[in-house]
Structure 1
Amino acid sequence: MSVRIATFNAENLLSRFDFSGFRNELRQDRVSQLYDFASEAQYRQAEIARAVSLTDDTRQMTALAIAEADADILCLQEVESLDTLHRFEYGYLFKMIGDGYRQKVLVEGNDRRGINLALMAREQTLDGAPIEILETTSHAYLSYEEAGVYTPDLEGLAHPNERVFKRDCLEVDLKIGNKRLTVYVVHFKSMGGPRDGIDGRDYSMPVRLAEARAVRKIITDRFGAGGGGKRYVIAGDFNDYSERLVITGDRRNGYDFTPTPAEAGAVEALTDGGFTENVVRRRHDLDRWTLYHTRGPQERHLCQLDYLLASPALTRTSRDRLPDIIRAGQPWRTPFPPGQEVDRYPRTGWDRPKASDHCPVAMSFDLV
């Protein structure tokens, strides 16, 4: 018996409009910046038209990526609400896979933009075992002090009494056949741009490290220091990487992709000591990326931001399994290393529309 688990940052799966760009140009879409609006009412009308016209293609591609991942259990990031998720499933996903994900959980977390974590599950696995969601626990309330993860390098970034998770750590207990499994869905603090002369990853690293350590503490408090031999997966967008493929060259002369290790960060806080395994590292070092980052020709790389970290109890029974990374929803601007090119979904744009800026990651785990 096996269960297939996937994680996907669906990139702003929202059912509301954001009109804040009228008063804050930094929040204004680049198309809107081409025009002068006589009034806020005019801006709102234009923003509604822009968002609606782009959304249909985008969500068709999002649904295609989910369908291609073909998971029994799907962990999602950047979802506004259960109502939004139901509408997306009915209007898009249902047309591709039918009535697949009847079980859904979402708890509103701490993100000020209203992007939350969700989990969807089929009623049975692809090989026929029943799936049951037993319990859902939100850890959005947990503070740095309560988790015991406040460190001096957080001074100026966070207060000990603040909530440690920028979104949440959504803990979901499931029963697959007669086997138990716990899934932790996360979405860690974003890197952001450089601040005070410090690289964005380094500047925000203390916050992500605290989030990762808090997740580890939640698990060890429940199962024991080594995970207690239990089956668990930590799934989500870590907004951090252990390595990058630094890109040089251009379209005319070709690109070069150079694997470049990074200083240890949030990922290592959860893999050190064999606590979990980053299963994507089973793939070749040129073929682990889930996101293309660029700030122009001088700063371009591919990297893994999306993770399935599996406990020893899961990985030792799945040694021969390889994870899949679904890249057909990437925009045409994304440079692919040689041999990795895929057929993009219909109507994919140079930058948009696209399924998401992230790629889904999926893997089947044997439950024995």
Structure 2
Amino acid sequence: MSHTRIGSFNVENMFERPKVMSRGATKHAAPVLAAHARFNELIACEEYTPEVKQELKEHLLTLGLLRGDRSSYAVLRRIRGRFLARHRDGETSVVASGRESWVGWVELTTEPISELATRHTAQVMRDVGAHVLGVVEAESRELLQMFSSSLLKHVGWTPYDEVHLIDGNDERGINVGLLTRDEHQVITIRTHVYARDTSGVIFSRDCAEYHVRTPAGPEVVVLVNHLKSKGYSTPGDPLGARRRFRQAVRIARIVNRLRDEGHEHIAVVGDLNDTPDSEALRPLFQRTGLRDISEHENFDWNHRFGTYRGVNEKGKIDYVLLTPPLFAKAVGGGIFRKGVWRGPRTKNRWDVYETMTSEVHAASDHAAIYADIDWSI
């Protein structure tokens, strides 16, 4: 086989998803997810100063956990020690002195994904037919393996030969992974969850590094990413953009290190959560020479210029980026939208699955994107 299709697909969880991230909870998502992330960051402090305690209480209020350990969207888990005192007069105080005085955390409650949505996710994978597929927002390797072995058979396709996923830094269970088939074999795996700079941990999830031997002989290194989200950051997204910039800098460094080691064929795939012209992603392009497969003359945009929902250029946030030697072997690529809900008023309408009659049946808010590589060139 001289042909390899490299794809990227944000599956948005296959079986369960945090309830606050469901399509019916849009107005609650940003404050709840921000409070959840900040709360679990603050409780790691060695000492809970009065200012830290006050901020912890503010986040508990947002999460609905100030007067009880369970709310619509979150649960306060307390394993050992005392964290809060809830008084009869309605007041709540943080009594723990720091991380060493109690063990616990806040986790988000989950709900099952629609059975039809799960089926449509499998249909997207089947119809894209990538030999090497980077997946974003997968719960775990076990569930990704189960999905491949059972759901792909259910829609009339064969499971992937290899299923890889390393737990990342996001405690919500939204990880990145890689699926391979048709004699495309992963020979080396490297995680970057521990990568740090002067500001701390770099990657929100991981920049998972997979070295794949292709049946044609050449090796391709695939870096699967899910950069810091725009949707759940502070207004104007200054912190999120800064984090994405740091992540782009490190990915560029990894790409250049790989090239120095002699690896010519490198693909950076995934949900980068920003547009190609953004300041946050600038290091990724300017420091590496990476090229977006959507620049190829034979790329099929399929009705829109974005990858997220029905948004055009401002919704181009999913990528297959190739080093120049790999781009030179590309013969085309495209965006597959059949699993994305379009709504009755969407202009330039694309084809969707006939059984997708409601937004809750969508495989994902993200279209899959892919590049076709011909190793004989």
Counterparts of 1:308 and 1:72 in 2: how far apart (Å)? Answer: 14
Closer/same/farther in 2, CA of residues 12 and 91 from structure 1, 3 Å limit: same
Partner amino acid, structure 2, of 1:287: R
Aligned partner of 1:352 in structure 2 is: 360
- Is residue 291 of structure 2 the alignment partner of residue 281 of structure 1? no
Aligned partner of 1:206 in structure 2 is: 242
Superposed CA deviations along residues 279-320 of structure 1, whole A, max 9, x for unmatched, are: 1133588733101378xxxxx9752110000011111122xx
| CA contact 1:107–1:117 (8 Å) conserved in 2 | yes
Counterparts of 2:144 and 2:292 in 1: how far apart (Å)? Answer: 28
Counterparts of 1:348 and 1:106 in 2: how far apart (Å)? Answer: 29
Superposed CA deviations along residues 106-134 of structure 1, whole A, max 9, x for unmatched, are: 00010021111110000x2xxxxx32210
Counterparts of 1:287 and 1:173 in 2: how far apart (Å)? Answer: 32
Counterparts of 1:87 and 1:58 in 2: how far apart (Å)? Answer: 16
Partner amino acid, structure 1, of 2:227: F
Aligned partner of 1:176 in structure 2 is: 214
Partner amino acid, structure 1, of 2:256: T
SS at match of 1:190: coil
Counterparts of 1:352 and 1:121 in 2: how far apart (Å)? Answer: 28
SS at match of 1:313: helix
Aligned partner of 1:132 in structure 2 is: 185
Closer/same/farther in 2, CA of residues 90 and 55 from structure 1, 3 Å limit: farther
| CA contact 1:140–1:165 (8 Å) conserved in 2 | yes
Partner amino acid, structure 2, of 1:138: T
The percent identity for this pair of structures is 22
Counterparts of 1:303 and 1:276 in 2: how far apart (Å)? Answer: 20
User: What is the 5 A alignment of 1:15-164?
Assistant: 15=16, 26=28, 51-52=111-112, 54-122=113-181, 124=182, 130-145=183-198, 160=199, 162-164=200-202
| CA contact 2:204–2:227 (8 Å) conserved in 1 | yes
Closer/same/farther in 2, CA of residues 14 and 108 from structure 1, 3 Å limit: farther
Aligned partner of 2:340 in structure 1 is: 330
User: What is the 5 A alignment of 1:281-320?
Assistant: 281-282=295-296, 283=299, 287-292=304-309, 303-318=315-330
- Is residue 350 of structure 2 the alignment partner of residue 342 of structure 1? yes
SS at match of 1:57: helix
| CA contact 1:277–1:315 (8 Å) conserved in 2 | yes
User: What is the 5 A alignment of 1:251-262?
Assistant: none
Partner amino acid, structure 2, of 1:221: R
Larger Rg: 2
Aligned-residue offset at 1:269: 1.9
Aligned-residue offset at 1:42: 12
Aligned-residue offset at 1:18: 5.6
Closer/same/farther in 2, CA of residues 359 and 19 from structure 1, 3 Å limit: closer
Aligned partner of 1:250 in structure 2 is: none
In structure 2, the gaps of 5 or more residues are: 33-67, 74-109
1:241 pairs with one of 275, 280, 284: 275
1:190 pairs with one of 220, 225, 229: 229
Counterparts of 2:19 and 2:232 in 1: how far apart (Å)? Answer: 22
SS at match of 2:168: coil
Counterparts of 2:186 and 2:259 in 1: how far apart (Å)? Answer: 19
| CA contact 1:323–1:362 (8 Å) conserved in 2 | yes
Superposed CA deviations along residues 339-366 of structure 1, whole A, max 9, x for unmatched, are: xx33311332443220100000012112
Aligned partner of 1:264 in structure 2 is: 279
Aligned partner of 1:156 in structure 2 is: none
Scaled by the length of structure 1, the TM-score of the pair is 0.71
Aligned-residue offset at 1:322: 2.3
| CA contact 1:229–1:313 (8 Å) conserved in 2 | no
Partner amino acid, structure 2, of 1:179: P
In structure 1, the gaps of 5 or more residues are: 29-38, 45-49, 125-129, 146-159, 243-261, 295-299
Counterparts of 2:205 and 2:6 in 1: how far apart (Å)? Answer: 21
- Is residue 12 of structure 2 the alignment partner of residue 4 of structure 1? no
Aligned-residue offset at 1:199: 1.8
Counterparts of 1:220 and 1:77 in 2: how far apart (Å)? Answer: 23
Aligned-residue offset at 1:104: 1.1
SS at match of 2:253: helix
Closer/same/farther in 2, CA of residues 117 and 315 from structure 1, 3 Å limit: same
Aligned partner of 1:245 in structure 2 is: none
Scaled by the length of structure 2, the TM-score of the pair is 0.69
